[in-house]
């Protein structure tokens, strides 16, 4: 399955950031320590991770980065099978 998340842009000026944070029509979060990714909960509850974008060689397919997040792949969540989350995935080395 291909899931393309909503894009985002870096905020250049502090005044723009304050304006957006006060606007009830926007939700944002600070990137803390990790990598932006899409988490797919497979039918057996195991987790697969893809990038939020694609490679230049295959612009129609997100990159599978499951191997980059081995500390998260040990979890199984069968109750959430079919769930897709777009978030920052914690990665201590990033």
- What's this model's pTM, rounded to 2 decimal places? 0.66
How far apart, in whole angstroms, are the C-alpha atoms of residue 9 and residue 80?
Answer: 30
How far apart, in whole angstroms, are the C-alpha atoms of residue 85 and residue 39?
Answer: 5
Return mean pLDDT, the chain: 82
What is the predicted pLDDT for the residue at 54? 83
Residues in the chain with pLDDT < 70?
1-9, 27-32, 91-94
What is the predicted pLDDT for the residue at 83? 93
What is the predicted pLDDT for the residue at 39? 92
């Amino acid at each position: 399955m291909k899931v393309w998340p909503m894009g985002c842009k870096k905020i250049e000026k502090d005044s723009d950031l304050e304006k957006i944070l006060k606007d009830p029509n926007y939700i944002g979060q600070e990137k803390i320590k990790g990598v932006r990714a899409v988490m797919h909960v497979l039918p057996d509850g195991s987790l697969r991770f893809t990038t939020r974008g694609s490679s230049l060689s295959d612009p129609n397919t997100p990159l599978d980065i499951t191997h980059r997040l081995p500390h998260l792949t040990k979890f199984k969540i069968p109750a959430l099978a079919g769930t897709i989350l777009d978030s920052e995935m914690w990665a201590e080395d990033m």
